[in-house]
Amino acid sequence: MSRWTVRFATPEDYYRLVPAQHINSNWVREPVVSWQQNGPVIINDYPWVVHENVRHRFNPKETCRFDMVTRDGMYAVVSWDEGPCDTTYNQCADHRNRTNWQNNSNRNFCAERVGARFRNDGRVPYSSLPTAPDRDLTGGVDVWAAPERRVERRDDDRREEPNRGNDRDSVRFGPWNNYGRNGYVYGGARVFRTYPEVFYAARAGQLPGCEVKRARFNLGGCHWKAEVMNRHYPFNENEVCSSPRRAARVGCNISNSQEENVGCLLAMAINQGYCR
């Protein structure tokens, strides 16, 4: 069962709260702060997905209308019917990635279409600057950038829990991509410093409800796949697994190490409240 609740009962409930300067013609293009990388992110306990410094709703309990839009002329190339936000975004993103790769370009992007009532006719210029942190009208009042962490080089391999500020840490309240080699990964009471540590903890059965399993049937060259609550993870992304090419679909092509890549996938799950 999804942990998410309905914040916007209809797409229009969301559109009316988007600042006019973040609607580009017929499409919502809400920018995020520059430190946010591509991939799923939770802001104020609400699920988003970020691509090229623009965030999109990713709540499976709400509905969205996505278009694949071309920058050449700003018109919809492909449109999807209204459906669950995570599913329709993934459908659009798959088509966008495939089309851009085939054309060796970056001319297409995905965005929610707003219709005539909320469209921006140009009287308010579009701005690529994000909403001020204290005025995030769509997500609450507490959007914050994860603090920079400086990790001293160590000769030993012991774990040390980093200092926390304001009773928060970078996993429960920040983007999953703050995990990684130079940061810390929290998994419940344990502290992980690298994606491979997440992988080995899952293999040892130390992440409740989350597993790493051998990929079978030559799944895109993958050696491993992630499962959460006995379902393939990421949900609705059945072709994503540990090979760099497949993991790249959700921003987890960390290296040629498939153990590290699948550890990144489970880091996403940890940040969404699983594996604890």
Q: Where are the domains of the chain?
A: 11-127, 176-271
Q: Tell me the per-residue pLDDT of 85-113, one tens digit each, with 9 for 90 and over.
A: 999 999 999 999 999 998 898 999 999 99
Mean pLDDT of 191-218: 81
Using the Cα atoms of residue 250, residue 254, residue 258 and residue 260 in order, give the sign of their dihedral.
negative
Q: What is the pLDDT of residue 132?
A: 54
Q: Tell me the per-residue pLDDT of 46-72, one tens digit each, with 9 for 90 and over.
A: 888 999 889 999 999 999 999 999 998
C-beta atoms surrounding 231 within 10 Å: 12
Q: What is the pLDDT of residue 161?
A: 33
Residues whose CB falls within 8 Å of the CB of residue 74, separated by 6 or more in sequence, listed in order: 24, 25
Mean pLDDT of 245-272: 82
C-beta atoms surrounding 79 within 10 Å: 12
- Computed over every residue of the chain, the mean pLDDT equals 75
Q: Tell me the per-residue pLDDT of 18-29, one tens digit each, with 9 for 90 and over.
A: 888 899 999 999
Q: How far is CA 219 from CA 158, 216, 222, 238, in A?
A: 35, 6, 6, 10
Q: Is the pLDDT of residue 154 over 90?
A: no
Q: Is the pLDDT of residue 194 over 70?
A: yes
Mean pLDDT of 221-241: 85
Q: Is the pLDDT of residue 77 over 70?
A: yes
**Which residue is associated with the tokens 């499409």?**
27
**Which residue is associated with the tokens 């690529």?**
128
Helix ranges, 51-190 (H): 85-103
What is the rounded distance in angstroms from the CA atom of residue 255 to the CA atom of residue 169? 25
